[in-house]
Structure 1
Amino acid sequence: MSGSSQTLRQRFETSPFFSHLGFEILDAGKDVILLKLPIKKYLLNTNQTVHGGVYATMLDNIMSLAVRKAVEKDIVTVNMNINFLAPVKEGDIVASAKILHQGYRIVTCESEMYSHEDVLLAKGTGTFKVKKST
């Protein structure tokens, strides 16, 4: 793993919010980033399925990982759209992301989230602003 990938992994994995939810970076290699989330009871809503906010958080995190890896700078999410496609109650969720367009200050990314049974749960797109170096 390259130095920048290792730094990226360490930065996310030491984030209190990231680790509290239980995210695990499965792969942060050259061409792919995979994020896993084991489903725990505290992630379920009143329907006993994973809460939509968890879907949104996971998609935002995987896209943020992909964008930060591409630009190697701090970023902020400026827009995110999600299509919720299927519920899930147990097992693991895995998400991936890819860059659709990378400009100097704005990056657009796409993400997908799957169940442990390979069911497409959600798709997301996001627009991210690259922060100025200080």
Structure 2
Amino acid sequence: MSEDFVVKQADIEEHLARLEELARGTFWSELGCEVVYANAEKAAIRLHAEQRHLNLIGIVHGGVLMSMLDNAMGLVVMVACREKTVTAQLNTHFLESSRSGILVCEAEIIHRIGRTITLQATVKDEDEKFIAWGSGSYRIVSR
């Protein structure tokens, strides 16, 4: 393993620790997500879906799934850019329903030009069944 990779990985871990500290008391912590892995190209987050994440018909609320997609894609952007960014656009496709259990959302950058970064993400359940797919564009708002 090269020394550059070790330094970069250590830098990412330090940055993630700072982000985790900043996230305390925000919507991220209220939702209950946790980071599985993150780098400047891809990230994954996990959520243990509980009663509080369900809608009135007993399935995981669409807003929870959209938040997972947005949070995972946003995490990649925060690691890749280290600058303030905002979600400019978010598309979501609800593919299946889920009642509870572990949900994992994986996100990756698919295009970057100037101050705009485009990503895609999926949410899968414990059985690897696709629950949702989304894409989003994120805009760097400061340099």
TM superposition shift of 1:42: 0.6
Measured on the aligned residues, the alpha-carbon RMSD in Å equals 1.6
Residue 52 of structure 2 corresponds to residue 42 of structure 1: yes
Residue 102 of structure 2 corresponds to residue 92 of structure 1: yes
Identity of aligned residues (%): 29
The structure richer in helix per residue is 2
Deviations 1:19-48 (A, max 9, x none): 111101011246541100001111100110
Contact 2:12–2:79 under 8 Å retained in 1: yes
- Secondary structure in 1 matching 2:56: coil
Residue 4 of structure 2 corresponds to residue 4 of structure 1: no
- Secondary structure in 1 matching 2:12: helix
TM-score by length of 1: 0.91
CA distance 1:89–1:9, change in 2 (3 Å)? farther
CA distance 1:10–1:99, change in 2 (3 Å)? same
TM-score by length of 2: 0.86
Residue 118 of structure 2 corresponds to residue 108 of structure 1: yes
Contact 1:5–1:69 under 8 Å retained in 2: no
TM superposition shift of 1:117: 1.0
Residue 36 (structure 2) aligned to one of 22, 26, 29:
26
Contact 1:8–1:65 under 8 Å retained in 2: no
Larger Rg: 2
Aligned residue pairs, count: 133
CA distance 1:58–1:21, change in 2 (3 Å)? same
Distance in 2 of aligned mates of 1:33 and 1:13: 18
Contact 2:43–2:73 under 8 Å retained in 1: no
- Secondary structure in 2 matching 1:68: helix
Which stretches of structure 1, 4 residues or longer, exceed 2 Å deviation after superposition? Answer: 29-32
Residue 81 (structure 1) aligned to one of 91, 95, 106:
91
TM superposition shift of 1:12: 4.1
Counterpart of 1:3 in structure 2: which amino acid? D
Where structure 2 has 5 or more consecutive residues not aligned to the other structure, the ranges are 1-8
